[in-house]
Structure 1
Amino acid sequence: MEALIWIGAGLVVMGILGLLYCIVVAARAKREGLEGDAMAARLKRLVALNLAALAISALGLMTVVTGILLG
Protein backbone atom coordinates (compact mmCIF):
# COMPACT_ATOMS: atom_id res chain seq x y z
CA MET A 1 0.00 0.00 0.00
CA GLU A 2 3.02 2.24 0.17
CA ALA A 3 2.90 2.59 -3.61
CA LEU A 4 -0.66 3.86 -3.34
CA ILE A 5 0.49 6.60 -0.98
CA TRP A 6 3.28 7.67 -3.34
CA ILE A 7 0.97 7.68 -6.34
CA GLY A 8 -1.50 9.83 -4.42
CA ALA A 9 1.26 12.19 -3.32
CA GLY A 10 2.32 12.56 -6.95
CA LEU A 11 -1.24 13.42 -7.95
CA VAL A 12 -1.45 16.00 -5.18
CA VAL A 13 1.78 17.63 -6.35
CA MET A 14 0.53 17.69 -9.96
CA GLY A 15 -2.72 19.31 -8.83
CA ILE A 16 -0.92 21.95 -6.79
CA LEU A 17 1.37 22.74 -9.73
CA GLY A 18 -1.72 23.15 -11.90
CA LEU A 19 -3.25 25.52 -9.38
CA LEU A 20 -0.04 27.55 -9.23
CA TYR A 21 -0.02 27.73 -13.04
CA CYS A 22 -3.59 29.10 -12.95
CA ILE A 23 -2.55 31.77 -10.46
CA VAL A 24 0.39 32.82 -12.63
CA VAL A 25 -1.71 33.02 -15.80
CA ALA A 26 -4.45 35.04 -14.08
CA ALA A 27 -1.91 37.44 -12.59
CA ARG A 28 -0.25 37.85 -15.98
CA ALA A 29 -3.62 38.62 -17.60
CA LYS A 30 -4.35 41.23 -14.95
CA ARG A 31 -0.89 42.77 -15.36
CA GLU A 32 -1.41 43.00 -19.14
CA GLY A 33 -4.44 45.16 -18.43
CA LEU A 34 -6.93 43.03 -20.32
CA GLU A 35 -10.52 44.13 -19.98
CA GLY A 36 -13.95 43.05 -21.11
CA ASP A 37 -14.22 40.22 -23.58
CA ALA A 38 -10.48 39.55 -23.79
CA MET A 39 -10.22 39.04 -20.03
CA ALA A 40 -13.40 36.95 -19.98
CA ALA A 41 -12.10 34.67 -22.74
CA ARG A 42 -8.77 34.15 -20.99
CA LEU A 43 -10.39 33.46 -17.63
CA LYS A 44 -13.03 31.18 -19.14
CA ARG A 45 -10.32 28.78 -20.33
CA LEU A 46 -8.53 29.13 -17.03
CA VAL A 47 -11.57 28.12 -14.97
CA ALA A 48 -11.71 24.72 -16.67
CA LEU A 49 -8.01 24.15 -16.01
CA ASN A 50 -8.42 25.32 -12.42
CA LEU A 51 -11.24 22.86 -11.78
CA ALA A 52 -9.27 20.02 -13.37
CA ALA A 53 -6.23 20.77 -11.19
CA LEU A 54 -8.42 20.90 -8.11
CA ALA A 55 -10.02 17.55 -9.02
CA ILE A 56 -6.62 15.93 -9.57
CA SER A 57 -5.42 17.23 -6.22
CA ALA A 58 -8.54 15.94 -4.45
CA LEU A 59 -8.22 12.55 -6.15
CA GLY A 60 -4.61 12.37 -4.99
CA LEU A 61 -5.61 13.19 -1.43
CA MET A 62 -8.25 10.46 -1.50
CA THR A 63 -5.66 8.01 -2.81
CA VAL A 64 -3.24 8.89 -0.01
CA VAL A 65 -5.93 8.45 2.64
CA THR A 66 -6.97 5.12 1.10
CA GLY A 67 -3.38 3.94 1.11
CA ILE A 68 -2.97 4.93 4.75
CA LEU A 69 -6.18 3.20 5.80
CA LEU A 70 -5.34 0.00 3.92
CA GLY A 71 -1.70 -0.01 5.09
Structure 2
Amino acid sequence: MTIWDGLIWSGSAITVLGLIALGWCILTVIRARRSGASEEALRQTMRRVVAVNMAALCASVLGLMLVVLGIMLGK
Protein backbone atom coordinates (compact mmCIF):
# COMPACT_ATOMS: atom_id res chain seq x y z
CA MET A 1 0.00 0.00 0.00
CA THR A 2 1.44 3.34 -1.05
CA ILE A 3 0.98 6.72 0.53
CA TRP A 4 -1.51 7.56 -2.21
CA ASP A 5 -3.65 4.56 -1.31
CA GLY A 6 -3.61 5.77 2.28
CA LEU A 7 -4.69 9.21 1.10
CA ILE A 8 -7.59 7.69 -0.83
CA TRP A 9 -8.73 5.53 2.09
CA SER A 10 -8.43 8.30 4.67
CA GLY A 11 -10.33 10.67 2.36
CA SER A 12 -13.03 8.06 1.95
CA ALA A 13 -13.31 7.65 5.72
CA ILE A 14 -13.60 11.41 6.24
CA THR A 15 -16.26 11.61 3.55
CA VAL A 16 -18.27 8.79 5.11
CA LEU A 17 -18.11 10.49 8.52
CA GLY A 18 -19.37 13.71 6.92
CA LEU A 19 -22.24 11.85 5.28
CA ILE A 20 -23.17 10.20 8.58
CA ALA A 21 -23.24 13.64 10.21
CA LEU A 22 -25.47 14.93 7.40
CA GLY A 23 -27.85 12.05 8.01
CA TRP A 24 -27.90 12.94 11.71
CA CYS A 25 -28.81 16.53 10.79
CA ILE A 26 -31.68 15.39 8.60
CA LEU A 27 -33.06 13.05 11.24
CA THR A 28 -32.77 15.66 13.98
CA VAL A 29 -34.71 18.25 12.00
CA ILE A 30 -37.40 15.74 11.03
CA ARG A 31 -37.82 14.70 14.68
CA ALA A 32 -37.95 18.32 15.83
CA ARG A 33 -40.64 19.21 13.31
CA ARG A 34 -42.75 16.18 14.09
CA SER A 35 -42.53 16.70 17.86
CA GLY A 36 -44.71 19.79 17.67
CA ALA A 37 -42.28 21.84 19.76
CA SER A 38 -42.63 25.58 20.13
CA GLU A 39 -41.08 27.88 17.59
CA GLU A 40 -38.34 28.92 19.99
CA ALA A 41 -37.39 25.30 20.73
CA LEU A 42 -37.34 24.60 17.00
CA ARG A 43 -35.05 27.59 16.43
CA GLN A 44 -32.64 26.37 19.10
CA THR A 45 -32.53 22.94 17.49
CA MET A 46 -31.97 24.45 14.06
CA ARG A 47 -29.09 26.62 15.32
CA ARG A 48 -27.30 23.56 16.64
CA VAL A 49 -28.03 21.54 13.51
CA VAL A 50 -26.84 24.27 11.14
CA ALA A 51 -23.42 24.33 12.81
CA VAL A 52 -23.09 20.54 12.58
CA ASN A 53 -24.39 20.63 9.00
CA MET A 54 -21.71 23.09 7.91
CA ALA A 55 -18.98 21.04 9.58
CA ALA A 56 -20.32 17.86 7.95
CA LEU A 57 -20.36 19.47 4.51
CA CYS A 58 -16.82 20.73 5.03
CA ALA A 59 -15.65 17.26 6.09
CA SER A 60 -17.29 15.66 3.07
CA VAL A 61 -15.72 18.14 0.66
CA LEU A 62 -12.27 17.83 2.21
CA GLY A 63 -12.53 14.04 2.15
CA LEU A 64 -13.49 14.03 -1.50
CA MET A 65 -10.62 16.39 -2.26
CA LEU A 66 -8.23 13.95 -0.59
CA VAL A 67 -9.65 11.10 -2.65
CA VAL A 68 -9.25 13.01 -5.91
CA LEU A 69 -5.75 14.11 -4.93
CA GLY A 70 -4.76 10.54 -4.11
CA ILE A 71 -6.13 9.27 -7.42
CA MET A 72 -4.44 12.00 -9.46
CA LEU A 73 -1.05 11.73 -7.80
CA GLY A 74 -1.09 7.97 -7.50
CA LYS A 75 -1.25 7.34 -11.24
How high is the TM-score relative to the length of structure 2?
Answer: 0.92
Give a deviation string over 1:28-66, Cα, whole Å, max 9, x none: 001101231111011011100000000000000000000
Gaps of 5+ in 1: none
Structure showing greater Rg:
2
Identity %: 45
Matched, 1:23 2:58: no
How many residues align? The count is 71
In structure 2, give the amino acid aligned to 1:31. Answer: R
In the alignment, the residues of structure 1 paired with residue 14 and residue 54 of structure 2 have an alpha-carbon distance, to the nearest angstrom, of 14
How high is the TM-score relative to the length of structure 1?
Answer: 0.96
